[in-house]
Amino acid sequence: MTRFGKTMAALALGASLGLSTAAVAQTAQDVKHDRRDLRHDRRDLRHDNRDRVRDRHDLARDRAQVRQDLRNGDKAAAHAQMRDIRADKRDLRHDRRDVRHDRRDVRHDRRDLHRDVRGK
């Protein structure tokens, strides 16, 4: 092999080692980012679920209050409670949508993390 050939072979070997090292570092960064993102999505999911439970309890209290107001003949208070119930239902629908999106994000992040770890 000529001197030029040896130099080119050494450069090619060095370049391939450099590229493989960069690829491993990039994969490690992807795994770290995916784990952090997954942790945040799970935390969001827990918060949204807690919020849904609070909203359901609030709805039950408001409905009981409406029944009480109607028994007492206080239609104005019952009407105000009904507005509050509508707002709580909107909030509950919004929370359901958030939970659905967070579950989808968790599923995608888990799949992406699995791909990064497996190298596929």
Three-state SS at 111: helix
What is the tens place of the pLDDT at every residue in 4-13? 566 666 666 6
Q: Is 15 exposed, middle or buried (0-12, 13-18, 19+ CB in 10 A)?
A: exposed
Predicted model pTM = 0.64
pLDDT of residue 16: 62
Per-residue buried b or exposed e for 55-81, using 16+ beta carbons within 10 Å of the residue's own CB: beebbeebeebbeebeeeeeeeebeeb
- The tokens for 100 are 């659905």
